[in-house]
């Protein structure tokens, strides 16, 4: 095991322990808040519970991010090996021309990729609002969304799902607050047409 892989494994173990401790603390705070009789005490306990539960959620999202990074690195390594093998095989001009044509086709976004891009564009503002302007938290939540989309894209009919249905489900799963707004253009745009850039977060 490489040093980087060992460090990542250790980080994942620590995040797992932190999430378990945070979950136990959140349960204790919730119990104490329900039992509190004084309004001031109840308000303080509820605020502490909200902060703790949010920390647990971010810890889980960061853990998922590390896992996704490891998977991305593995895919990149496999892709590099495949590219080296392909370079050794492509020696005559006829095979080279076929490879170039295939590369053009591969770089064209698939309906699933465009569907994921549309969902990210729709949820971008909710994620920014949830992060309350914190860029690090915003990036973690985006990674969380990427991971969820990565898991969902293999489901049958993913690219054909109505954008508002998919976006609402993901917003609910991520517990994003605020009203989800899907424009008419986003709702009826075919998945094989590239989407515009994400909404301005400034």
Q: Residue 18 and residue 7: Cα distance in Å, rounded?
A: 16
Which residue carries 């993901």 as its tokens?
170
pLDDT at 133: 83
Q: Residue 76 and residue 74: Cα distance in Å, rounded?
A: 5
pLDDT at 189: 52
Q: Tell me what the mean pLDDT of segment 35-64 comes to.
A: 84
Q: Tell me what the mean pLDDT of segment 176-201 comes to.
A: 57
Which residue carries 């976004």 as its tokens?
109
pLDDT at 194: 40
Residue pair 138/131 in contact (Cβ under 8 Å)? The answer is yes
Regarding pTM above 0.85, the answer is no
pLDDT at 185: 55
Query: Which of helix, strand or coil describes residue 154?
Result: coil
Angle between helices 135-152 and 39-89 (to 10 degrees): 60
Residue pair 66/8 in contact (Cβ under 8 Å)? The answer is yes
Q: Residue 151 and residue 153: Cα distance in Å, rounded?
A: 6
Q: Tell me what the mean pLDDT of segment 22-27 comes to.
A: 84
Question: CA distances (Å), 189 to each of 53, 85, 109, 122, 172, in order?
Answer: 37, 39, 15, 13, 23
Other CB atoms within a 10 A radius of the CB of residue 43 amount to: 12
């Amino acid at each position: 095991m490489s040093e980087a892989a060992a460090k990542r494994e250790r980080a994942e173990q620590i995040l797992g322990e932190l999430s378990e401790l945070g979950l136990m603390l959140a349960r204790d705070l919730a119990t104490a808040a329900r039992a509190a009789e004084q309004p001031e005490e109840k308000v303080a306990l509820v605020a502490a519970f909200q902060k703790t539960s949010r920390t647990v959620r971010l810890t889980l999202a960061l853990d998922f991010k590390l896992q996704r990074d490891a998977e991305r690195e593995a895919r990149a390594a496999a892709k590099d090996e495949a590219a080296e093998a392909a370079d050794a095989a492509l020696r005559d001009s006829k095979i080279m021309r076929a490879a170039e044509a295939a590369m053009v086709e591969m770089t064209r976004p698939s309906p699933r990729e465009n569907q994921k891009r549309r969902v990210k564009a729709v949820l971008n503002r909710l994620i920014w609002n949830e992060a309350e302007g914190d860029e690090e938290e915003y990036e973690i939540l985006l990674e969380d969304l990427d991971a969820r989309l990565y898991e969902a894209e293999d489901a049958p009919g993913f690219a054909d799902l109505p954008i508002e249905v998919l976006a609402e489900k993901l917003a609910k799963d991520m517990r994003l607050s605020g009203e989800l707004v899907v424009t008419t253009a986003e709702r009826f745009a075919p998945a094989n047409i590239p989407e515009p850039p994400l909404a301005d977060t400034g």
